[in-house]
Structure formats: C-alpha cells, structure tokens
C-alpha cells in the first residue's frame, strides 16, 4: 500500500497513511472480535449450564454485546478519592496497547501482515507479556488493598508462566528453523501431516503445554487469580467502570486471539488448510487465495479461543498456591524435557522413524476428532424441545 501511495503522495505522508490504515484495521478487528467472542462466551457458558444465553437482542442475541458496549460508553467514568488519578486512568490503555502491538507482527494470510519481522514469535511473546504492567498499575493505583492483592496475584502468575510458555515456543522453532511467522507457515505448507504438531511426540505434547500456559498468561479461568471468593471483589479492575473497564476486557480477548494465532503458526500450519498440496496464492491469485488463507487462519485461532471458553466454564478456579505449584513443579520441568527431547529427535531419531511418526500422529488425531464429532451428533440427551414451553421451545 505504501509503494502505491508513494506514486501520489510524499514518502512521509504515504508512510503515515499506511500506518494509520494498519492501526485502524487492527483496532477494528480487535473490537469486532471482542464483541463476537463475548457473545460466543455467553452462548458457550449457557449451553454448558443448560441455559439459552442471549436470545432477544437481535437475531440469536448477536446484538447483546453491542448493547452492552453502548451501555459502558454512557456510564460515568469515576475514580476513587484515594486513587492515583494519572496511573489509574492510563492503566487500561497500557494493557490494551500490549495486546494491540502483538497484532503488528501477526500475519493474517500470505503477505497480509503489518510488519514481517524475522523475530516475530519472540516479539509477540515480549509485547503480550507487557500487559502485566497495566495490571499492576491498575491494582496499585486504585487505592484499595483488595485491588492490589488481585494485581499482585495476576502479575506473579503471568510472569511465572512466561518461562514454560517461551520454552514451548523454542520447541517448534528448533524444528522449523526460524522465528519468522510467515516463514513458519510456508515451511508447513501442504497436507496437515506437515504441521509441526505432528512432527514428533515432543512437539505434539508441547502444543498442549503451550496452550495451557498461554491460557494462564491471558488470565483465564481456571487460572483467573484476580477474583477471589473470600474477597468478593473482581481483583485489579474492581474500581473501574464504563469505558476504562471495557478496555481491560478488550485486551483480554485480544490477547486470547493473539496467542491462539501464535499457536496456529507454531504448531497448526498457519494459514494453510492442511487439505491442499499447494499454496492457494500461487494457484488462485493474491486476493482469492488469501481469502481462503484468511478464513483458515481466523478459523483455527477462533477454535482455540472457543476451547479457552469451554475450559473456563468446565473447571473450577485454582488457588494461588496450586497455580504456582503447577507452573514451577510440573510445567517448567516438562517444558525442559520437551526441549531436550526434540533436539535429540532431530539429531538421531528423525532420519529413522520421522516419516512414520508423522502419519501415526496425524491420522490418529484425525480419527480421534472424527469419533468425538460423531459422538456429538449421535448424542440425544435432555428433554425434547416439544415438551418445553416459553423461550425454551424456540
């Protein structure tokens, strides 16, 4: 876009317009994605708890999140008398900026990336981890010991889980030989057995460990330490209301999609569907090929976000000592073993049994997924809809 604009505008103005367009597209995507994910989470939690969720605000309740957003915009923006007003007001924006900057290096398709960085994987880890500064400032500046407790708990959790999460990034990097997310996707082109998750048993386990630690880094239940039943408060954002409160949740849902997108590039083939032997852009052209690539990538990342929601509403919240013990006593040693294991596999075992392992893991996983999906369609539990009245009959 910048090269095209340079023919009509000065170089500096073309750069500013390009950066403004990219920033606007990312912010719009995060905002729309947050609205849809909030609606999806309400529907997921409702189905798990045998409820309907939003049904009356728009078709299927799709406008419920928009209505809540309008309500938050009109609510009064207040700050406690004991709060540090400056830090209190900038904390939500710091948290959101950490999530926003991560999208700058995240490709959405072949060539559709704001900045194609050679160290994109570790860049995303670094900037997404900086969300902890907003969390700590929010707890500290609120002038409430309960908000401070919630901020300290979240900070301890996020900082601790960064270590095994980073090690789980190094595992596929050893296989793919690059930190560039675009190159990672290109290396995994072709059928789904070329994906990193099926490369060897260590990568297979590392994917699940990365997903768990990424869930904890996003402050999602069962690792949601901000809230505590004994305190009856929401943690570091207890004192926030209106628009600033919504920025924390936009940052949370943005980070969920960002780490899910990172997992897609590290382990799940990036923008490739896994069922075509060629790159769609090379065969169908840039726009038509990238339409499929974009759909595949957003679908993979959104599916992982839905799994995070499923886990949240299925498992109870852990205590702070349990969260820290799981990280330091179990996840960190396991991540170190996986890193040593994948290095050993690359040196000694891959030339011998590497190809056979790919097929066993890939087709075994495909068979498992088909069995699970088939069982969902065969399940016929609950009360027949015809025997229900009111809204339940719909």
Q: What average pLDDT does this structure show over 248-259?
A: 92
Cα–Cα dist 167/129, whole Å: 14
Res 320: pLDDT = 84
DSSP string for residues in 89-136: HHHHHHHHHHHHHHGGG--SBTTB-S---TTHHHHHHHHHHTHHHHHH
Neighbours of 210 (CB within 10 A): 27
| pLDDT 10s digits, 206-215 | 999 999 999 9
Minimum mean pLDDT range among 44-58, 59-73, 226-240, 372-386: 372-386
Residue recorded with tokens 């959790």: 157
**pLDDT at position 12, please?**
72
pLDDT in tens, 359-374: 999 999 999 999 988 8
Alpha-carbon gap, residue 130 to 172, rounded angstroms: 23
Domain boundaries, the chain: 75-370
95 pLDDT more than 50 = yes
Q: What per-residue confidence (pLDDT) applies to 2?
A: 57
CA 192 to chain centroid, in Å, comes to 21
Average pLDDT in the chain? 89
The Cα 116–Cα 113 span in angstroms is 6
Average pLDDT over residues 279-295: 93
Structure confidence at residue 379 (pLDDT): 58
Mean pLDDT within 28-53: 92
Give the pLDDT score at 318.
Answer: 84
Q: Average of pLDDT values for 95-99?
A: 92
With 0-12 / 13-18 / 19 or more C-beta atoms within 10 angstroms meaning exposed / middle / buried, residue 52 is middle
pLDDT of 394 higher than 50: no
Report, as an integer, the average pLDDT of 344-353.
93
- Closest residue by Cα to residue 87 from 130, 159, 143: 143
Check residue 228 and give its pLDDT: 65
- Chain-centroid distance, C-alpha 216: 11
Question: How far, in Å, are 140, 141, 191, 381 from residue 258 at the CA level?
Answer: 27, 27, 24, 36
- Cis check: omega of the bond before 150, within 30 degrees of 0: no
Q: What are the pLDDT digits (tens) for 122-174?
A: 999 999 999 999 999 999 999 988 899 889 888 889 889 999 999 999 999 99
Residue 114: C-alpha distances to residues 100, 103, 169, 292 (Å): 12, 8, 22, 19
CA distance 191 to 133: 41
Percent above pLDDT 90 for the chain: 64
The C-alpha torsion from 168 through 174 and 175 to 181, rounded to 10°, is 70
Backbone phi, psi, residue 285, to 5°: 95, 165
Check residue 6 and give its pLDDT: 67
Query: Is a pLDDT exceeding 80 seen at residue 110?
Result: yes
- pLDDT of 57 higher than 70: yes
387 has a pLDDT exceeding 60: no
User: What tens digit of pLDDT does each residue of 307-330 get?
Assistant: 999 999 998 888 888 999 999 999
Residue 268 DSSP class = S
Q: Name the 3-class secondary structure at 22.
A: helix
Tell me if the pTM is above 0.85.
yes
Q: What pLDDT is attached to residue 392? A: 46
Which residues neighbour 383 within 8 Å (Cβ) at sequence distance 6 or greater?
none
Poorest-pLDDT segment among 109-118, 137-146, 260-269, 382-391:
382-391
- Cβ atoms 79, 141 nearer than 8 A: no
* Structure tokens belonging to residue 183: 């190159």
pLDDT at 15: 78
């Amino acid at each position: 876009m910048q090269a095209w604009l340079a023919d009509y505008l000065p170089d500096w103005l073309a750069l500013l317009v390009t950066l403004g367009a990219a920033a606007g597209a990312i912010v719009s995507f995060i905002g729309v994605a947050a609205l849809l994910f909030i609606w999806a989470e309400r529907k997921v939690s409702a189905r798990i708890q045998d409820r309907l969720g939003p049904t009356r605000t728009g078709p299927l309740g799709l406008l419920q999140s928009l209505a809540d957003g309008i309500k938050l915009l009109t609510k009064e923006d207040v700050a406690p008398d004991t709060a540090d007003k400056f830090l209190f007001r900038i904390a939500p924006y710091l948290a959101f900026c950490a999530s926003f900057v991560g999208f700058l290096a995240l490709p959405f398709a072949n060539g559709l990336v704001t900045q194609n960085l050679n160290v994109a994987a570790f860049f995303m880890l670094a900037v997404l981890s900086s969300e902890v500064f907003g969390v700590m400032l929010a707890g500290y500046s609120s002038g409430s010991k309960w908000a401070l407790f919630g901020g300290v708990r979240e900070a301890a959790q996020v900082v601790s889980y960064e270590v095994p999460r980073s090690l789980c990034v190094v595992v596929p990097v050893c296989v793919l030989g690059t930190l560039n997310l675009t190159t990672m996707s290109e290396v995994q082109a072709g059928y789904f057995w070329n994906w990193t998750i099926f490369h060897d048993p260590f990568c297979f386990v590392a994917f699940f460990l990365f997903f768990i630690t990424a869930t904890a880094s996003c402050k999602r239940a069962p690792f949601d330490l901000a809230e505590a039943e004994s305190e009856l408060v929401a943690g570091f954002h207890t004192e926030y209301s209106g628009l600033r409160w919504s920025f924390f949740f936009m940052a949370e849902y943005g980070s969920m999609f960002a780490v899910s997108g990172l997992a897609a590039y590290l382990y799940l083939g990036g923008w490739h569907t896994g069922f075509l032997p060629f790159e769609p852009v090379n065969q169908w052209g840039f726009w038509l090929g990238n339409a499929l690539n974009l759909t595949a990538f957003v679908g993979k990342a959104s599916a992982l976000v839905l799994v995070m929601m499923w886990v949240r509403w299925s498992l109870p919240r852990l205590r702070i000592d349990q969260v820290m013990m799981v990280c330091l006593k179990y996840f960190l040693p396991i991540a170190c073993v996986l890193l040593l294991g994948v290095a050993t596999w690359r040196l000694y075992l891959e030339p011998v049994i590497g190809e056979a392992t790919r097929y066993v893991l890939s087709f075994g996983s495909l068979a498992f997924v088909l069995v699970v999906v088939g069982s969902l369609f065969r399940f016929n539990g609950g009360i027949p809809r015809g025997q229900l009245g009111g809204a339940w009959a719909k």
